[in-house]
Amino acid sequence: MGWNSWDCYGTTVTEAEVLANAEFMAEHLLPHGWNTVVVDIDWSDPAARSHGYNSDALLLIDEWGRLIPDPGRFPSAVNGAGFRPLADAVHGLGLRFGIHTMRGIPRRALELDAPIRGTRWRAADVADPANVCEWNPDMLGLRHDHPGAQAYYDSTLELYAEWGVDFLKSDDMLWPYQVADIAAYSRAIDGVGRGIQLSLSPGRDLSLARVDDLRAHATMWRICDDLWDRWEDVEANFARFARWAPFAGPAGWPDGDMLPLGRIGLRAERGEARDDLLTPAERVSLMTLWVIARSPLMIGGDLPSSDPATVALFMNAEVLEVLKGSTGNRELFRENGVVIWAARGTDGVRYAAIFNLRDAAADLVLDVQNLDLAVDSALEIRELWTGETVSSTAVSVQSDAARGVVPGSDAITLALPAHGAALLRQAPRPQEQDRVTDRGVSR
């Protein structure tokens, strides 16, 4: 759970902007679990610009061909300090510090004939011009049949560890799936012994056949391409999360990408400065889906200038408890523009998420058993975004309005706006909440 600079600042974020978002997070969001601040791509390019990459960027590198921050945008990086001062400032706020990295070795390292630290080899010995990123011109691939490739990754991770980096968003790893790079990067992280968390991206066309390899090497991995503030981007992730959510857990976390919410596009790759273009209902649906699927949450909007109502979505403790403490998260139903998910909380709590994917408002009557909720009208059901109680009542007559509800069954009625969602919490039965053990009653 954290913030990433990409959706609001693209390749151009500055040290002052990173610190402003870190300070906002520490003051307002850290108590709710948001704890990571990430500087996204091109932090080494002095000429970085919005709306694209520079084709012949004069990236800043050290004597060993490793990227270093541009001191024009990151003044504390002068005199070879790198990201250490910024990381220290972020750590001083009680937060973790992360940066974006790219697969491979910089073209600039070849142009300058840089040696690989601790070896007799040079950049040209390990570069693979045949395996380059198709959307970013900065890097060449690595020849993993040469020991210098691992040595180069090892040297970069040693540098990041010296800087105090806690989190790496490593790009151009998954499309196509770069088996050798993923394994080599993971080994390099293990070698520095810092416990750096590894996020792999982008996730276009990612197959479940890769799940064991992903779990062996990464903390989290993207399951989609870049997500922007368009409903079609959000809706496309319903099918992806349905596939991937059963595999989410401590062994690794499928990632639906950043939350393009709040003030975005300030100097980004796509679009102009704007409050995100999703409706309030669509924002709730996005948050509900990411939470019920237990995706990592990285806010993309500039926090200090985002609308307070949007920021409030990140501070709902009961909603975030679904993310942090639920299990068995899965899609139950998807028909006629209605999607239902369920999960279990601790001590007998049950959760259900209901989504209206239709372009018009919908009045839904739903059998509680189809939501995997208990049939017991004495148990409180609350909608967690509004805090309102939802009543379940016995349906006496079968009808189109109560589609799929047999007479005599308990049902709930929900009025959902177009592209809207509800997140329900059903209180546990007393006997589930008060468990008698040989040590007495535990709650």
Residue 407 pLDDT: 82
Mean pLDDT of 10-31: 98
Residue 396 pLDDT: 65
Encoded amino acid at 87, one letter: A
**pTM for the full predicted model:** 0.95
Distance CA 188, CA 146 (A): 15
Judge whether residue 185 has pLDDT over 70: yes
Residue 415 pLDDT: 97
Q: Is the bond into 71 cis (omega within 30 degrees of 0)?
A: no
Pair 36, 96: CB distance under 8 Å = yes
Pair 197, 233: CB distance under 8 Å = no
φ and ψ at 196, to 5 degrees?
-70, 135
Tokens 């990409």 locate to: 6
Tokens (6 digits) for 331 = 């899609």
Mean pLDDT of 316-334: 98
Sign of the CA dihedral with 60 first, then 153, 127, and 115 last: positive
φ and ψ at 229, to 5 degrees?
-85, 60
Judge whether residue 440 has pLDDT over 80: no
The helix-helix angle for 280-292 and 317-325 (nearest 10°) equals: 30
Distance CA 394, CA 1 (A): 40
In this prediction, residue 430 has a pLDDT band, given cuts at 50, 70 and 90, of confident
Question: CB-hemisphere CA count at 13 Å for 145?
Answer: 1
Tokens 């790759």 locate to: 269
What does the chain come to in residues?
443
Distance CA 262, CA 299 (A): 8
The closest of 155, 151, 156 to 170, measured between CA atoms, is: 156
Residue 432 pLDDT: 58
Element (H, E) at 262: none
Judge whether residue 441 has pLDDT over 90: no
Pair 241, 254: CB distance under 8 Å = yes
Distance CA 94, CA 15 (A): 17
Q: What is the pLDDT of residues 372-399, one digit of tens each?
A: 999 988 899 999 999 999 988 877 666 7
Judge whether residue 32 has pLDDT over 60: yes
Judge whether residue 33 has pLDDT over 70: yes
The helix-helix angle for 84-92 and 15-24 (nearest 10°) equals: 20
Encoded amino acid at 107, one letter: R
Judge whether residue 259 has pLDDT over 60: yes
Q: What is the pLDDT of residues 83-93, one digit of tens each?
A: 999 999 999 99
Element (H, E) at 220: strand 220-222
Cα distances from 49 to residues 6, 43, 52, 118, 130, in angstroms, run: 12, 11, 7, 34, 27
Pair 392, 412: CB distance under 8 Å = yes
Tokens 């906002």 locate to: 24
Question: CB-hemisphere CA count at 13 Å for 26?
Answer: 16
Cα distances from 292 to residues 20, 99, 147, 316, 376, in angstroms, run: 30, 27, 43, 14, 23
